Amino acid sequence: MMTLKKLFLALSFLLLVLTGCSHERKSPLAAYAPAMKPAFEAELAGLAYMPRYDVTLNISPDQGWLQGKALVTYQHSAPGEWHSLYFRLYPNLKRYGGSLNVLDTEVDGNPVIAVYEADRSALRVPLAAPLPSGKRVSVYFSYTLRWPQNRPGYTEFGESQDITMLPEAYPMLAVPEPNTEGDPQWHLDMPANWGDVLFSESSLYQVTATLPADMVVATGGAEITRTVSGPSATWRWVSGPSREFTLIMSPHFITATEEAYGTEVTSYFLPEDESVGSRLAGYAAAVLRVYSDHLVPYPFRHYSIVEAPLTFHGMEYPGMNAMGIGLYRGYRSGLEFLTVHEIGHQWWYNMVGNDQINHPWLDEGLTEFNTVLYYEAIYGKAAAERLVRRRWMAPYENLKSRGLDATLEQPTTAYTRANYETLAYAKGALFFHALREKLGPGKYDRALRAYLDRYRWKIATPSGLLKAIADSTGYDPKPLYDKWVLGR
């Protein structure tokens, strides 16, 4: 018979063993779990291959600058031995008008001399020793970043109307195009003045930012802590798989929240735009539900939709979308459609990535056309058909009649400001419309789910899309592709 004391000792020992085990089992990826819905936390265990960013920012919004530190851990999983890594410094693009200045660079703790390339929008980091396939490397940067302030009109980077936009405010790994041997071809394309700038791999983020305590900060991550110390506060966020980490802030933001299948939806807006700002939280929750039903569930615990100095435009970020101030105040008829479009990018951009410079129609066409899933679900079939005619068929027919038709399979730089949206968005949407007409709604959803499954957190290509459709439905989409995407 066991004495009470022995029983206590045995239980204590058992407890020690159990907690010891669970401690050992705790993977470094567990740090990102708060960003994921409980049903998707387990997915993190399979994402150890992803780049990890640990970014610390000391931000002075009034001065328009920050001091940053970024530790980037990269696993080289392609073939061949590499001699350098390339990073993009997007703030240095003329289009952004910022200035990211790298002060120190270290590789695995040893100082190296990094070299600016591509008009300072890229940085080559030499590796002290060749990096064999399968090995990890960590690169540390300290840097300063300045951004334009008081900008009039459309501001995708910097401060305008008391709102500060900080996308890609740190050195970001460029995307390698693997070679069978030796160094890869790194994507260092310069974007056009229209279309998106970013091409990146899904990564995991931990971001710490110190700011004035009265600032309201929106991100696509999960806030872990906020510590106020005198006039400043330090925030800490983590993300799930994300192609970037963006901060949008204003001392004036107020918020409204909704819930969608376990995701907390937060709308951030200026006080004078409260009625539209609260309405957006409702639209966003509805869109997340409809797309989760048709495609695959939105996996994150948080989603933010944020008023931003983007005139009548919207912009996608992982776990977050920005909506132009003009949409809250003037062009309200476009508000709901643009909300549906932008949120679609959580699937076609963040979940399934693609080269947005060289195949811009791939995510834009899908994002644009899949808005019919929402319009059918909320307003019925006739409303969705009206959308197809008015939003895509009519503008495309008009463009064609003016002799401006062109192939979709070209880089954004080969489009013009005049034809970009009608081609990449409207004609792109019409390709997916033709595909859905051919397959029927059920098979169409199945094809998209196959595509999502194959390229989840990866980078898709047009040929990958065609193969996913053919493999999952038995229908070869090549003739439709030749007509709508390659044709002119």
Binding site for Zn ion (CB under 5 A): 364, 367
Q: Which is nearer to Zn ion, 368 or 376 (CB)?
A: 368
Residue 271 in contact with residue 330, Cβ under 8 Å?
no
Q: Which is nearer to Zn ion, 82 or 361 (CB)?
A: 361
Instruction: State the minimum distance, in angstroms, from the CB of residue 341 to Zn ion.
Output: 6
Strand blocks (E) in 149-260 = 158-160, 163-166, 172-173, 176-177, 185-186, 204-212, 216-219, 222-229, 232-238, 247-250, 254-260
Instruction: State the minimum distance, in angstroms, from the CB of residue 356 to Zn ion.
Output: 9
Residue 151 in contact with residue 160, Cβ under 8 Å?
yes
Instruction: State the minimum distance, in angstroms, from the CB of residue 180 to Zn ion.
Output: 35
Instruction: State the minimum distance, in angstroms, from the CB of residue 353 to Zn ion.
Output: 13
Q: Which is nearer to Zn ion, 270 or 465 (CB)?
A: 465
Instruction: State the minimum distance, in angstroms, from the CB of residue 165 to Zn ion.
Output: 17
Burial of 425-444, coded b for 16+ CB within 10 Å and e otherwise, reads bbbbbbbbbbbbeebeeebb
One-letter amino acid for residue 32 of the chain:
Y
Residue of 193, 143, 137, 136 lying closest to 168 (CA atoms): 143
Q: Which is nearer to Zn ion, 206 or 356 (CB)?
A: 356
Q: Which is nearer to Zn ion, 235 or 425 (CB)?
A: 425
Contacts of 442 (CB under 8 A, 6+ apart): none
User: Using CA atoms, how far apart are residues 87 and 137, in angstroms rounded to an integer?
Assistant: 14
Burial of 311-335, coded b for 16+ CB within 10 Å and e otherwise, reads ebbbbbbbbbbbbbbbbbeeeeebb
Structure tokens at 284: 């966003």
Contacts of 260 (CB under 8 A, 6+ apart): 284, 285, 286, 288, 289, 292, 298, 303
Instruction: State the minimum distance, in angstroms, from the CB of residue 368 to Zn ion.
Output: 7
Structure tokens at 16: 């020690």
Local structure of residue 191 (DSSP, 8 states): P
Instruction: State the minimum distance, in angstroms, from the CB of residue 327 to Zn ion.
Output: 14
Phi, psi of 102 (to 5 degrees): -85, 125
Instruction: State the minimum distance, in angstroms, from the CB of residue 363 to Zn ion.
Output: 7
- Rg of the chain on CA atoms, in Å: 24
Integer CA distances (angstroms), 198 to 188, 190, 202, 449, in order: 10, 10, 12, 24
Instruction: State the minimum distance, in angstroms, from the CB of residue 195 to Zn ion.
Output: 9
Q: Which is nearer to Zn ion, 210 or 367 (CB)?
A: 367
Structure tokens at 60: 């002075």
Estimate to the nearest angstrom the gap between the alpha carbon of 329 and the chain centroid.
Answer: 26
Q: Which is nearer to Zn ion, 127 or 372 (CB)?
A: 372
Q: Which is nearer to Zn ion, 158 or 428 (CB)?
A: 428
Instruction: State the minimum distance, in angstroms, from the CB of residue 364 to Zn ion.
Output: 5
Q: Which is nearer to Zn ion, 159 or 364 (CB)?
A: 364
Q: Which is nearer to Zn ion, 367 or 473 (CB)?
A: 367
Q: Which is nearer to Zn ion, 92 or 246 (CB)?
A: 246
User: Using CA atoms, how far apart are residues 408 and 293, in angstroms rounded to an integer?
Assistant: 29
Instruction: State the minimum distance, in angstroms, from the CB of residue 448 to Zn ion.
Output: 17
Strand blocks (E) in 278-410 = 302-308, 314-317, 320-324, 353-354
Q: Look at residue 279 and give its three-state secondary structure.
A: helix
